[in-house]
Amino acid sequence: MISVKNLNQSFGKKIVLDDVNIEIEPFEICALVGRNGAGKSTFINSLLGLLPAHEGTISINGCPVNAKTQEWKKSIAYLPEKFMLYPLLTGYENMKFFAEAIFKKADESRIESVLRSVRLWDDRNEPIKKYSKGMLQRLGLAVTLYQDAKILILDEPTSGIDPIGRVEILEVLKSLHDKTILLSSHHLDEIKQICTHVAYLNEGKMTKYTVAEFLAAQNLGGTGS
């Protein structure tokens, strides 16, 4: 589903991604883990085609990621970290704008079903500047879910959210059985709760583990293999 081969990225003399190879299979929920500055954002930007690969290849759902083709974009939906959307528009208007920007025409019934799935239908007519951080994050998820992409790339979806808001986000993510998800996270508990795999980025090198393997490898109380 996501295939990265021999990916190298560097800024000047600093090597950020050093010969990264990873395959993320369909329906996996893979956490992207690494210390601050480890290169998680660089990796995500490479996957999204925002940062052209210096060396190596990336393919999404079998389509190569490059500037010439747009086919791979259909398979992914991305939710950045600390996004705000349009604060002066209502939740519904935000959804409608993204639906029209991406598909030209908004499907009203689909907007309703997606907003209901993230439990924001009742608040749809409130300007989102009045939303709590958790509600805003759920709206962001709704925007990505509307796109019906097979792969979701979520950059710290629970960052800065209170415990109740986090539980609500995780509930939504758990319910997405038909998606392949790559999410960057610093929270071990949420990795344990919802992820099947971990892509660990350390000093430019990436290693893929099952969650149990990762916990064991890091001496964090899991069962190793």
Partner 1 sequence: MHYIWKEWKENLRGKGLWLSLSIIALISVSILFRSTALSFDKGFYVLLINLFDSLIYFIPILCLFIGAFSIFQEKEQKTLIMLLTKKDNYQSFLWKKSLALYTIVLAPLLAWFFVYLAFLKFNFVIDGKGYLVFVLSIALLAIVFLQMGACIGSFCRSRMQIVGAAVFVWFYFFFMHDFILLSVLPNVSADNVIWFSLAYFLNPLEAVRMFLETGMGVYSFGHMSNLLQAFMWTKPAYFLIGNLAFWLIVSYLIAILFHRKEGNE
Q: Which residues bind partner 1 (CB under 8 A)?
A: 48-50, 70, 73, 76-89, 93, 96-98, 100-102, 127, 143, 147
* Residue 26 in tokens: 């369909």
Cβ distance to partner 1 smaller for residue 70 or 223: 70
Q: Which strand (E) or helix (H) includes residue 16? A: strand 14-24
Cβ distance to partner 1 smaller for residue 89 or 212: 89
Residue 192 Cβ, how far from partner 1 at the closest point, in Å? 28
Rounded CA-CA distance 42/33 in Å is 13
Q: Residue 90: what residue type?
A: T
Cβ distance to partner 1 smaller for residue 138 or 191: 138
Q: What would the DSSP string read from start to end of 167-185?
A: HHHHHHHHT-TT-EEEEE-
Q: Residue 77: what residue type?
A: A
* Residue 210 in tokens: 């099952």
Cβ distance to partner 1 smaller for residue 64 or 80: 80
